Structure 1
């Protein structure tokens, strides 16, 4: 079955500032900047078997709503690594790595708020 998602867009107030957070975090997934348009930055993974693009879209006005994006990773150790790198890149803790029994018995995840307050999650199934 093909991927159900083609791309995800995240609104940010300053693309250059957001890039200081997303470059190191997305590098852990093999994502890097693929192309740029005025007011938009596109990330793509050349090494993962995926066609999903992640766009950062410049939205200089205050954001009424933030977004939640969950990145699936293969292991508990990688959830912890993403969390550590995201914190070091300026993200704020929104839920440290751990089991989330309220979601499922095998749901292990961590949550970070990016520089614009978007909820970025890293999750694996144990």
Structure 2
């Protein structure tokens, strides 16, 4: 539920590869790429994730992507770990948020907390 988020990254090539592989199970692909960076989105999506090379050292960011099913959350988690992410919370219910909050968390190449979440029952 966002228009776009721009993340400054320390290694553009590594970050691009990580996010494309980790988010592929959620249908995220390259929408646009130029000398300024890359913009990724789900097909027909109204929000996007943008990456741009920077020498700045931004604070860690928590970003959650919508998954349409628990299976997509599981697939995101496997893909993100295979892409070099670090486990920060295996797929599972998080009833402290609400009874059907099913999510997985990984730490990306720049230390950002990346989540996929499904709010549907079962």
TM-score, structure 2 normalization:
0.88
How far off is 1:59 after superposition?
1.9
* 1:12/1:57 contact within 8 Å kept: yes
1:5 corresponds in structure 2 to 2
* 1:90/1:114 contact within 8 Å kept: yes
TM-score, structure 1 normalization:
0.86
Alignment counterpart, residue 56 of structure 1, candidates 34, 51, 65: 51
Change (3 A) 1:74 1:44: closer
Q: CA separation in 2, counterparts of 1:5 and 1:101?
A: 24
1:45 matched to 2:39? The reply is no
**Which string of whole-angstrom CA distances, capped at 9 and with x for unpartnered residues, describes residues 25-63 of structure 1?**
2222222222223342111333xx422121012222333
1:76 matched to 2:73? The reply is no
Q: What SS is found at the alignment partner of 2:26?
A: coil
1:14 corresponds in structure 2 to 11
* 1:94/1:111 contact within 8 Å kept: yes
Alignment RMSD, CA only? Answer: 1.5
How many residue pairs get aligned? The number is: 120
